[in-house]
C-alpha cells in the first residue's frame, strides 16, 4: 500500500487537533447531503491547519451510541469519504483516524486506503469494562493486518482508557510496557477518566519516572496547564478546550484559541 501523504513525526513532539465528526445517522437517509453535513468538520480541519497544528485526528465522536469493535458498512464508507475529503483539504499535515468505540481494524483500513498517517486505538492490550460492555484489546489483529496490507500507518494506543475500567491488576506502568513491548504500538496515550479531563499530575509524574517513557496526553490539556505538563509528554491530542463554547462539544474550533495554543506549544518546543 502507498505510504501516507504526510507522516506523523513522533520526534517533533506533535500537537494533534481533534476533529469531532457529527452523527452518521443522517447519512443513512436518501436525502443526505454529504458536503453540507460534514462542512463544519472540514472547516475545523482548515482552522486547525491555519492555527499551525502538526496533525489532525478524525473521530466519529458524535456517532452515539458506539458499537464495540465494528461500525456498519454504510458508516464505514461515509467515514472513509470524510477522511479522504479532509486529507484533500489539508494535504500538507499528518492526519489520523479513530473509530469509537474500538474499531481499530476498520480505522487501519481507512487510514491505509486514504494515505492517512496514524490511528488511535482505544483498547489495544488487555480488557476493559466500558459502557459498551467488555472489550478486549486488538493489538494482534491490527499488527497482522498491517503486515498483510504492507501498511506504514502508525498506532497510538491508549493506556488507562477513558470511560473504562480495566479487568485485572496491571498497573499503568505494566500496561504501558505491554502496549509498547508486547503489543507493538508506536506510541501510547494517557488520559483522564473522561473526555476533557486531565490525568492527575502526580500520576503522570510517577509514570514518567518509573517507565522513563513520555506519553501523549489524550485529554484535559489547556492553555492554563500546558506549560506544566509539557516536559513530561511526547505530544498532545487536544479538542474540547479549543472550541468556541467549551461546554458544547458540538461547537466548532475557535481559530483564536487554537492559534494561541499553538503559539504557546511552539514556544515551549524551542526551549
The reply to whether 5 falls in a domain is: no
With respect to residue 38, please indicate whether it lies within any of the assigned structural domains: yes
Q: Helix or strand or coil: residue 135?
A: strand
* 239 part of a folded domain: yes
Report if residue 182 sits inside a domain. Answer: yes
As given in the structure block, the three cell numbers for residue 94 are 499528518
User: What's CA 128's distance to the chain center, in Å?
Assistant: 18
How does pLDDT run across 18-68, given as a tens digit for each residue?
999 988 877 667 777 777 778 999 999 999 999 999 999 999 999 989 999
Q: Is residue 4 part of a domain?
A: no
- Matching residue, cell 469494562: 129
- Using pLDDT thresholds of 50, 70 and 90, give the confidence band for residue 1: very low
**Considering the domain boundaries, does residue 136 fall inside one?**
yes
**Domain of 118: which CATH number?**
3.20.20.70
The pTM (predicted TM-score) of the whole model is: 0.95
Half-sphere exposure (CA, 13 Å, Cβ side) for 247? Answer: 0
Range of the domain at 16: 10-270
- Number of domains observed in the structure of the chain: 1
- Whether 88 is covered by a domain: the verdict is yes
Tens of pLDDT along 104-140?
999 999 999 999 999 999 999 999 999 999 999 999 9
Q: Per the domain annotation, does 3 fall within a domain?
A: no
For 137-157, b/e burial (b = at least 16 CB within 10 A) is bbbeebeebbeeeebbbbbbb
Amino acid at each position: 500500500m502507498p505510504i501516507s501523504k504526510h507522516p506523523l513525526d513522533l520526534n517533533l513532539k506533535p500537537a494533534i487537533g481533534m476533529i469531532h465528526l457529527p452523527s452518521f445517522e443522517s447519512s443513512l437517509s436518501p436525502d443526505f447531503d454529504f458536503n453540507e453535513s460534514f462542512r463544519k468538520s472540514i472547516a475545523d480541519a482548515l482552522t486547525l491547519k491555519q492555527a499551525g497544528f502538526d496533525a489532525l485526528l478524525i473521530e466519529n465522536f458524535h456517532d452515539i451510541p458506539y458499537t464495540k469493535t465494528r461500525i456498519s458498512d454504510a458508516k464505514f464508507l461515509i467515514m472513509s469519504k470524510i477522511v479522504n475529503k479532509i486529507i484533500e483539504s489539508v494535504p500538507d499535515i499528518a492526519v489520523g483516524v479513530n473509530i469509537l468505540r474500538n474499531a481499530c481494524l476498520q480505522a487501519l483500513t481507512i487510514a491505509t486506503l486514504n494515505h492517512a498517517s496514524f490511528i488511535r486505538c482505544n483498547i489495544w492490550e488487555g480488557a476493559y469494562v466500558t459502557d459498551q460492555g467488555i472489550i478486549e484489546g486488538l493489538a494482534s489483529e491490527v499488527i497482522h493486518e498491517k503486515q498483510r496490507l504492507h501498511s506504514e500507518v502508525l498506532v497510538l494506543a491508549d493506556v488507562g482508557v477513558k470511560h473504562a475500567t480495566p479487568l485485572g491488576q496491571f498497573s499503568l506502568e505494566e500496561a504501558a510496557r505491554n502496549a509498547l513491548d508486547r503489543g507493538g504500538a508506536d506510541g501510547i496515550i494517557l488520559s483522564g477518566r473522561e473526555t476533557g479531563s486531565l490525568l492527575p499530575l502526580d500520576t503522570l509524574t510517577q509514570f514518567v519516572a518509573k517507565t522513563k517513557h513520555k506519553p501523549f496526553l489524550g485529554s484535559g490539556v489547556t492553555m492554563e496547564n500546558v506549560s506544566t505538563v509539557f516536559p513530561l509528554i511526547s505530544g498532545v491530542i487536544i479538542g474540547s478546550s479549543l472550541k468556541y463554547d467549551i461546554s458544547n462539544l458540538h461547537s466548532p474550533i475557535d481559530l483564536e484559541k487554537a492559534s494561541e495554543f499553538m503559539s504557546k506549544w511552539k514556544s515551549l518546543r524551542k526551549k
